[in-house]
Amino acid sequence: MRKDFYIFRHGETDYNLEKRWQGCGIDTDLNETGICQAKVLVEKLASKNLEIIYSSALKRALKTAEIIADSLNLEVKVIKDLREGSFGESEGLRKDEAALKYPEIFNLWYDEKADHLDVAFPGGETKRQMQQRMLGVLEGLLKTRESVIGIASHGSSIRYLLLGFGKILGRLTNTALFHVVYEDGEWRVEDE
């Protein structure tokens, strides 16, 4: 059995522009640039033969998924666990404010070493929890009938999921796209 997952980050929001932590507790919508980015992503996905898109329920991801689905005549289904991570007390802060308030955590947040997977902002989710939550979604989708699946999610959730497959990424750009394949019991990330 083979399944292809095209996993993409949502388009830009005003919080992204301001370099603010959104997390799952702040539900912002796409701005005009984000809408345009989603329309450009349609062009990248048009040749992939997607059969369905699963999306986070947060507005920024869901709107991105809906723009793509409308253009490609696809259904969108929401899966709550595709949400962004919980960043606890750092949500709503600009990244420079979070770096000042939580310097040690902030520095470890972008460090991809395995021994830093249990880092979390106060009241938030660890990188490992995000990774396990996202992997659980993908494993669940192995049971669906579709073999080519689009997934609309969020920067940190995607980054730490892919880290589990050995792909080391820095901060993700809006509408970054990744191709994950499950085949013969193995996961791999293919270049796009």
pTM (predicted TM-score): 0.95
Q: 113 or 155: which carries more pLDDT confidence? A: 155
Catalytic: 179?
no
Short-list 13, 18, 15, 21, CA closest to 123: 21
Can you read off the two tokens belonging to residue 19?
């370099």
CA 91, distance to chain mean position in Å, is 17
pLDDT tens by residue, 10-53: 999 999 999 999 999 999 999 999 999 999 999 999 999 999 99
Strand runs (DSSP E) across 42-134, as ranges? 52-55, 76-78
* pLDDT for position 110: 80
Average pLDDT, the chain: 95
Q: What is the mean pLDDT of residues 54-71?
A: 98
Q: In terms of C-beta density within 10 A (0-12 exposed, 13-18 middle, 19 or more buried), how is residue 156 classed? A: buried
Options 3.40.50.1240, 1.10.10.410, 3.40.50.10320, 3.30.559.10; CATH for 2-19+30-85+125-190 is: 3.40.50.1240
Report DSSP state, residue 172. Answer: P
Q: Where are the domains of the chain?
A: 2-19+30-85+125-190
Catalytic: 154?
yes
Q: What gap in Å lies between CA 2 and CA 171, rounded to an integer?
A: 29
Short-list 22, 12, 129, CA closest to 63: 12
Short-list 46, 103, 58, CA closest to 84: 58
End-to-end CA distance of the chain: 21
- What order of strands is seen across the sheet that includes strand 177-183? 76-78, 52-55, 148-153, 2-9, 177-183, 186-190
Give the active site residue among 154, 163, 178, 182.
154
Cβ neighbours of residue 99 under 8 Å, at least 6 residues apart? 106, 107
Enumerate the β-bridge partners of residue 73. Answer: none
* pLDDT for position 58: 98
Give the active site residue among 5, 6, 10, 54.
10
47 conformational bin, left if phi > 0, alpha if psi -120 to 50, beta if neither:
alpha
